[in-house]
Amino acid sequence: MQASKAYEANFDGLVGPTHNYAGLSFGNVASRSNEKSVANPKAAAKQGLRKMKRLADLGFQQGVLPPLERPSIRLLRDVGFSGDDASVIARAAREAPELLAAASSASAMWTANAATVSPSADTEDGRVHFTPANLAAKLHRAIEHGETRRSLGAIFADEARFRIHHALPGTPALGDEGAANHTRFAREYGDKGVEFFVYGKSEYGQGPQPQRYPARQTLEASRAVARLHGLSSDATVFAQQSPDVIDAGVFHNDVIAVGNRTTLFCHERAFVDQHKVYDELRTKLDALGTPFTALEVPESEVSVEDAVSSYLFNSQLLSSADGRQLLIVPQECRENARVAAYLDSLASRKTPIDEVLVFDLRESMKNGGGPACLRLRVVLDEAERAAVNTRVWMNDALFTQLDAWIDRHYRDRLAPADLADPKLLAESRAALDELTTILGLGAVYDFQR
């Protein structure tokens, strides 16, 4: 039976005022290669905002997620710095600049890591489930999940329709990186689907592991999220990411694969036992009467290194109202000759991808985040959409407000050394205080010292 009409909404993270290049993410090639360079928070925020507006103008359901409070004075106090806020920042800058950098990171802009989301069509209790990611592998990200949960609670407040879990315990055995390692397949968004969880290693099981860079997502975490969300075993597939691509800089699955409805777009080296993965997806989807297509890009045309440098797969694959599939890619895909040639060939190959749209996200890309990193996908039926905080939906008025808000509050230059400036905390708090009014977020920020 056809389910009620549903939509895939994309909730993009607004880039925060402390956007900088501290090189905090070992395993993320772009992040480390641009370490200590000068960032432009204003340009970063506007690039992300313009992506949101363009997709909303094209008819897609587009929402906004707020930045978190940064620098995190709470973190700095928790590790022993005391005094007034200015003293805390000054002492951290002098004694432990790496901790100040972690406390100041704007990494919550990559909301693909904010949570894993399962729609009501898949869950046992018929609610949309969110599990904020613990992001236990990196200090600057491990401090996010409590604040993320508050933000989600301010937007998805109706407990009859939404269930927002606490993050998994923050241990490496349950390392969870959120929707960057999760996608979902279904004929229509409102139909029951198959949820696809990709992990880098099993903490307690056997199997290959990367040798150069860490695997951040564990099988144990993925299975825990599936249990929390009340997902059935016949509608879940767990696949291991190839260790060699993790060692090549593919720190999340969304750097090597992206899915939408009945299509998986991925590199031929994305998974361990790749064709067995396809077979399991195809079998479980077939039981739901849903077709499945794997569009696999061969190494001979686009190498893993090309994929990492261009972020071909860190793209958004979207279905428009007329059923056409659009691939949203960063400008870097056009600057890599092999990737550009592949994209230009899609029409002649008669693939499920009908159109490619290119976006300038240079500031985010330099820190290792493309279009897919910037958004959290949330499937909503019409009643659930109506229950979402209405102030966060992108439209002409909200775009105008946020564009002017960025102009008022954001710097156009921020070097790592500038994190020691106590004025940055005051600027950030003033910006976020105003944002709560614009987005109707209530007391989502506590500004606790």
| H/E element, 63 | strand 61-65
Strand order in the sheet with 325-330: 316-319, 325-330, 355-359
pLDDT one-digit tens code per residue, 133-151 = 999 999 999 999 999 999 9
Q: Residue 23: pLDDT band by 50, 70, 90 thresholds?
A: low
Contact 18, 104 (CB under 8 A): yes
Q: Is residue 424 part of a domain?
A: yes
- 429, pLDDT greater than 70: yes
Q: What is the pLDDT of residue 251?
A: 87
Distance between CA atoms of residues 297 and 223, nearest Å: 28
Which residues participate in catalysis according to the annotation? 177, 252, 373
Q: What is the pLDDT of residue 26?
A: 47
Q: Is residue 296 part of a domain?
A: no
Q: Residue 30: pLDDT band by 50, 70, 90 thresholds?
A: very low
Pairing mode, strands 293-297 and 263-267: parallel
- 1, pLDDT greater than 50: no
Q: What is the pLDDT of residue 428?
A: 97
- 28, pLDDT greater than 70: no
Q: Say what percent of the chain tops pLDDT 70.
A: 96
Q: Which residue in the block uniquely carries the two structure tokens 């070097």? A: 415
- 401, pLDDT greater than 60: yes
Q: Residue 448: pLDDT band by 50, 70, 90 thresholds?
A: low
Which has the minimum average pLDDT: 23-32, 230-239, 326-335? 23-32
Q: What is the pLDDT of residue 37?
A: 76
pLDDT one-digit tens code per residue, 345-355 = 998 988 999 99
Q: What is the pLDDT of residue 27?
A: 47
CB atoms within 10 A of CB 19: 27
Closest CA to 284 of 195, 224, 198: 195
Residue 51, domain CATH:
3.75.10.20
Mean pLDDT of 410-438: 96
Q: Please give the tally of structural domains in the chain.
A: 1
Q: Is residue 158 part of a domain?
A: no
Kindly report the backbone phi and psi dihedral angles of residue 357, in degrees, each rounded to the nearest multiple of 5, phi listed first.
-115, 135
Q: Is residue 88 part of a domain?
A: yes
pLDDT one-digit tens code per residue, 183-239 = 999 999 999 999 999 999 999 987 889 999 999 999 999 999 999 999 999 999 999
- State the residue range of the domain holding 391: 1-110+374-449
Distance between CA atoms of residues 244 and 211, nearest Å: 8
Q: Is residue 291 part of a domain?
A: no
pLDDT one-digit tens code per residue, 255-303 = 999 999 999 999 999 999 999 999 999 999 999 999 999 999 999 999 9
Mean pLDDT of 426-442: 96
Cα torsion angle, 248, 308, 214, 197, sign: negative
Q: Is residue 24 part of a domain?
A: yes
| H/E element, 284 | helix 274-286
Mean of pLDDT over the chain: 94
Contact 111, 12 (CB under 8 A): yes
Q: Is residue 172 part of a domain?
A: no
pTM of the predicted protein model: 0.95
Q: Is residue 430 part of a domain?
A: yes
Closest CA to 282 of 253, 334, 239: 239
